Amino acid sequence: MKHYSVLKKEAIDLLNIDSNGIYVDATLGYAGHSQEILRRLKRGFLFAFDQDLEAINYSQQVLESIGQNFKLIHSNFVDLKDELLKENVNKVDGIIFDLGLSSPQIDDAQRGFSFMQDAILDMRMNQSQNLDAKKVINNYELTKLTDIFFRYGEERFSKSIAKNICEQRKLQEITTTKELVAIISKSVPTKYFRENHPERRIFQAIRIEVNQELETLEKVLPDAINMLNKGGRICVITFHSLEDRIVKQIFNKYSELDPLVKGLKDIPEDYQPMLKLINKKPILPSNEELAENSRSKSAKLRVVERL
């Protein structure tokens, strides 16, 4: 199964792996990062999380060919802390988050993630959950749809798109990606549709809502920071500005000095920041990577270390 892990070398290098440490791949996918982590571990151990059973089953076989010192956990990473505590693990040496969709998920038309292939509206990362894209499109009221499209898709024609969706579903249920793209197309000026691809932003917005992506990210990052050993690192790869903003804000919050003690010569330990930023500006894919994989274009990597 072909999957390209974006910024893989940079992320793995910056994770600064100790061969005897405990590491977490919070977004296993098709094991691109997990393989590289496992190859570097001797007496160390890897825990990897994914909601997608297809990814879990595939990655189990891939990783077994490298070593046995790993465990795959079928769960959303929002439960990272609770799931690790079940394994009697309360401190780790590094965590990686790759917040992009994996290529097999995008390319599998049946998953309904892509506006370029006709499929049933789905977009669930966890295929056993109840809420899917079809329910969002057919059940959410006009104001809620407009808000989701505007907040999560940053789409300027959110209101007219939501209005036309509500009009169309009165006539019949909207069930496929192709039907949704047709509604988006007739809701915006022709030139705007051709040049700006609002369907990309609307599909992103629905996917974020279905999988509660931003809420889970805001919740898990403080847990991840608190679980880090001294010198441990967190690497986060984001793919759109909404995710990157959350990561940047949380990392900045935990790496800034308390205003009460700024300027003091000797700062008490309780007032020291928990993190230091390894890179103040995000790391972007190289020209070589962009040439090899166009899907890496919007990726940004941020790294922090526990003090």
- How high is the mean pLDDT of the chain? 90
Query: What is the C-alpha to C-alpha distance for residues 217 and 26, in angstroms, rounded to an integer?
Result: 11
Query: What CATH number should be reported for the domain holding residue 159?
Result: 1.10.150.170
Q: Is the pLDDT of residue 227 over 90?
A: yes
pLDDT band at 3 (very low <50, low <70, confident <90, very high): low
Per-residue model confidence as pLDDT tens digits over 268-280: 777 788 999 999 8
One DSSP character per residue, 257-295 reads PPTTTTT-SS--GGGS-SEEES-SS-B---HHHHHH-GG
User: What is the reported pLDDT for 106?
Assistant: 47
What CATH number has the domain bearing residue 253? Answer: 3.40.50.150
pTM attached to this predicted model: 0.87
Question: Are residues 3 and 103 in contact, defined by beta-carbon separation less than 8 angstroms?
Answer: yes
Residues 204 and 152 in one domain: yes
Same domain, 240 and 165: no
How large is the average pLDDT for residues 87-102? 91
In a domain, 203, yes or no: yes
231 pLDDT band, cuts 50/70/90, is very high
Bridge partners (DSSP) of residue 96 are 25, 235
- Residue 111: its pLDDT value, please? 57
For residue 258, what are its two tokens?
């308390």
The reported pLDDT for the residue numbered 115 is 55
Q: Are residues 207 and 243 in the same domain?
A: no
Residue 1 lies in a domain: no
- Is residue 125 domain-shared with residue 206, that is, in the same domain? yes
CA 70, CA 250: separation in Å to the nearest integer? 29
Average pLDDT over residues 199-221: 94
pLDDT number for residue 104 = 47
H helices present in 87-157, as ranges: 103-107, 133-139, 142-153
Asked, for residue 246, whether it belongs to a domain, the answer is yes
User: Does 61 fall in a domain?
Assistant: yes
Position 242 in a domain = yes
Do 159 and 18 lie in a common domain? no
Does residue 302 belong to any structural domain of this protein? yes
Q: Same domain for 114 and 189?
A: yes
Task: State the residue range of the domain holding 116.
Answer: 108-211
Q: Are residues 17 and 72 in the same domain?
A: yes
Q: How many domains does the chain have?
A: 2
pLDDT, one tens digit per residue, over 7-57 is 999 999 999 999 999 999 999 999 999 999 999 999 999 999 998 888 899
Between 262 and 226, the higher pLDDT residue: 226
Report yes or no on 167 lying in a domain: yes
Higher pLDDT among residues 118 and 304, named by residue: 304
Better pLDDT: 166 or 295: 166
Orientation of helix 241-255 relative to helix 213-227, angle to 10°:
30
Q: Do 223 and 78 fall into the same domain?
A: yes
162 and 126 in a single domain? The answer is: yes
**pLDDT number for residue 272:** 83
Domain match, 93 and 241 both: yes
Residue 195 included in any domain = yes
